[in-house]
Amino acid sequence: AQSVTQLGSHVSVSEGALVLLRCNYSSSVPPYLFWYVQYPNQGLQLLLKYTTGATLVKGINGFEAEFKKSETSFHLTKPSAHMSDAAEYFCAVKRAGGTSYGKLTFGQGTILTVHP
Amino acid sequence: EAQVTQNPRYLITVTGKKLTVTCSQNMNHEYMSWYRQDPGLGLRQIYYSMNVEVTDKGDVPEGYKVSRKEKRNFPLILESPSPNQTSLYFCASSLGTGTYNEQFFGPGTRLTVL
């Protein structure tokens, strides 16, 4: 079975500061990893994804994440936070093979607050 | 515009009163799925459908039904809602089940069962 753990249900940063949202996964087979963002009263939007190849993945809105197999991690970062980054962020994993049938397994979410 | 739509967006109902939440996508996607979102638990899959007339249970299917009679529609049915089904529900679709296929999410339906 696969699982995702997001460390910290709430993260607060100042505008202009580094954003770091942590995600660790557990999977018996090589995983495909995703970060989604949910703005208030909206659905989920894909920020970035890791499938194969380069382990440093760049996404929209200046976010990036690095897949570290040895640490089973896929942390999300942004060098400089903007007020518009305030949202809830979800890490998710999908199996690379087997009977996954497209299922995404989500972490519990991290609410990012950005202070002026 | 390519999108996944859900109706209603907000619903307050009482225990035992049957309800249906509709989901429709206009992208000719084969795969559709329902999730519920609860604080501290993230999103959990309720049911999914690989194609027309092909549906299967996800992680939390108890108390829910689905149908897939047309490719574009995937309604979620609560035959006898209970308060523990109060949640935020999301429908999602993707072209296929492959890992390269991005899932597109609807705007969500906030359900309260009294």
pLDDT in tens, B30-70: 999 999 999 888 899 999 998 999 999 999 999 999 999 99
The percentage of chain A sitting over the pLDDT mark of 90, rounded to a whole number, equals 70
Contact predicate A35/A64, CB 8 Å = no
Q: Which of A27, A66, A31 is nearest to A51 (CA)?
A: A31
Please, which residues bridge with residue A88 across strands? A38, A111
Distance from CA of B48 to the nearest CA of A (A): 8
At a CB cut-off of 8 Å and minimum separation 6, what does A113 contact?
Answer: A10, A11, A12, A13, A86
Q: Is the pLDDT of residue B73 over 90?
A: yes
CA dist B79 → A41, B62, B76, B90, B96 (Å): 26, 11, 10, 18, 29
Contact predicate B48/B34, CB 8 Å = yes
Interface of A with B in 66-105 (CB under 8 A): 90, 92, 94, 96, 100-104
Please, which residues bridge with residue B42 across strands? B38
Q: Is the pLDDT of residue B71 over 70?
A: yes
Please, which residues bridge with residue B47 across strands? B34, B57
Q: Which of A114, A27, A115 is nearest to A74 (CA)?
A: A27
Higher local confidence (pLDDT), A75 or B99: A75
Helix, strand, coil % (nearest 5) of chain A?
Answer: 5, 55, 40
Q: Please name the residue of chain B whose CA is at the shortest distance from the CA of residue A39.
A: B107
Residues of A in contact with B106 (CB under 8 A): 43
Interface of B with A in 26-65 (CB under 8 A): 31, 33, 35, 40-45, 48, 50, 56, 58
- Going by the DSSP 8-state scheme, the letter that residue B97 receives in this structure is S
Q: What is the pLDDT of residues A81-104, one digit of tens each?
A: 999 999 999 999 887 655 556 678
Q: A84-96: string of b/e by CB count within 10 Å (b at 16+)?
A: ebbbbbbbbbbbe
Residues of B in contact with A90 (CB under 8 A): 42-43
Option in B42, B50, B102 nearest A46 (CB): B102
Q: Please name the residue of chain A whose CA is at the shortest distance from the CA of residue B10.
A: A41
Q: Which of B12, B24, B26, B38 is nearest to B91 (CA)?
A: B24
Q: Please name the residue of chain B whose CA is at the shortest distance from the CA of residue A109.
A: B42
pLDDT confidence of residue B103: 87
Residues of A in contact with B97 (CB under 8 A): 100-102
